[in-house]
Amino acid sequence: MKIIVGGAGNVGKSIVAYLSRGNNDVTVIDEDERKLSEVAREWDVMTLLGSVAHPDVLQKAEAGKTDLLIAATDSDEVNMVACQAARSLFDIPRKVARISARVYHRAAWSGLFGEHDIPVDLAVSPEFEIAAAIRRALQYPGISAAYPFAGRKLMLLSFRCPKKSPLLQIPLDHLERADPDLHIAVINIIRNGRGFIPGADDTFHAGDEINLLAAADDIEDVIHSFGLERKDNERVLIFGGGSITAYLAEALEDDDGISCRVIDEDPQSAAQLAEYLNNTAVFSGSVMSDVVLSEAGIADTDAAVAVTGEDKDNIIAAMIARKNGVENTFALVNSRSANTQMINVGDNILVDRTTITISAILKELRKVRLNNACTLGLSGEVWEIAVDGNSTLIGSTFAQLGLPKESRVCALIRKGETMLLPGEGEHIEEGDVLVFFTAPASIRRAEKIFA
């Protein structure tokens, strides 16, 4: 696929990092030569100096031969103009725009984007998506990430298996016998940096990163069964200002029983946040200051969330919070692989900007009509596929599809009922919804099957 990415900042680099793993022809456009040099050094992509909103620059990037434009600069308005030029002048079929300002996402202005208006096929706010992901994780202490599927009936849960989990060394096909309340579909396990789809005889090991599906109503049972229980996150402290903090704090203000506080080093940003938020205490100062931390109530904090603009600052802030006795600490980073060693030292929950950003636009990257999708980073992707009346899949069994070895149908939703890990002999019917996992090496094969 030929893709143009506008913007080489944190968001743009997150997108490029993921796209470069696949068989994509990527061109990155930015007005900052230094940022382009950094991108070119790290990934095998073409770079072009200029504005992605300028027609002559798009022409140099061969926009007329491009399948997808992702306008991800720091300016919402530049991104909109880029999409307009892409459609009007070069007929680029799919256009994604980073739209960060909250005002553009209000329901009152939902008619702004469309084929006959501003031609943005998908408007994404990475800041909102990151805040939403953190909020979901805060709702389930012990879980590092939670992603909804099937209209929130199912939840994809990610967590690290604790050393004292009651389920260690129990073969997967014996799990429900050992724990009748546990109803899950294990998607994959990451062990010692390698992801794999477990078989019936495989067992959980301490330290495994587990990705599984469970009914939304069964999440508390999952937490209990794996021994993940922690006290509720009733008092949350956020490090850093900006849009992510504003989105997250505003959402937490709507959650009963949760108090939220913010430490922002920038006095002007802190003042703006204090004016915008209604029931959130905002403190201006350094997270390195014991006085500021004390004033912000670090001693009685249940969860600390570091979402500044710098990875290293987030990691340090999270580690300081843990040193002060905070049980749940979150650090936003731009690349999980780059910080694995340091993260393991701090035992923080990693909030991966790349994974969250790509999950928000993944539907536009695949040659399959998807209801929903998310990436599990280097280990694979999870797709939600609706089977309509025109599908050639109808009547086939899962065995007859010839699915790649490194993939599996994790759930089948039929007429409101959910089957986890349906058998290979199950026939596909019109109206079925499938939740499907594929490893990176099998994505192209899976696209051909489900296209």
Model pLDDT for residues 228-275, shown as the tens digit of each residue = 999 999 999 999 988 999 999 999 998 888 999 999 999 999 999 999
Dist CA 70 CA 15 (whole Å): 9
Output the pLDDT for position 341.
43
Residues of the chain with pLDDT under 70: 335-346
Output the pLDDT for position 344.
46
Residues in CB range of 208: below 8 A, 6 or more apart: 160, 161, 189, 190, 191
Q: Are 295 and 270 in contact (CB under 8 A)?
A: no
Tell me the CA distances in angstroms from 122 to 9, 69, 119, 403, one per residue in order: 20, 11, 9, 29
Q: Out of 3.40.50.300, 3.50.50.60, 3.40.50.720, 3.90.550.10, select the CATH number for domain 2-124.
A: 3.40.50.720
Topology alike, domains 130-226 and 363-450: yes
* HSE-CB of 54 using CA atoms within 13 angstroms: 11
Fold assignment, 235-356: Rossmann fold (3.40.50)
Tell me the CA distances in angstroms from 166 to 226, 232, 347, 355, one per residue in order: 6, 21, 21, 30
User: Hey, where are the domains in the chain?
Assistant: 2-124, 130-226, 235-356, 363-450
**Residue 388 DSSP symbol:** -
Q: Which tokens in the block code for residue 352?
A: 């991966």
Classify 130-226 by CATH class: alpha beta
Q: What is the DSSP string of 420-436?
A: ES--TTPBP-TT-EEEE
Fold assignment, 363-450: Alpha-Beta Plaits (3.30.70)
Q: Are 209 and 190 in contact (CB under 8 A)?
A: yes
Residues in CB range of 318: below 8 A, 6 or more apart: 239, 304, 306, 329, 330, 331, 346, 348
The model carries a pTM of 0.91
Q: Which tokens in the block code for residue 179?
A: 């724990």
Three-state DSSP state, 393: coil
Output the pLDDT for position 335.
60
Output the pLDDT for position 22.
80
Tell me the CA distances in angstroms from 24 to 17, 67, 141, 263, 384, one per residue in order: 11, 10, 38, 41, 23
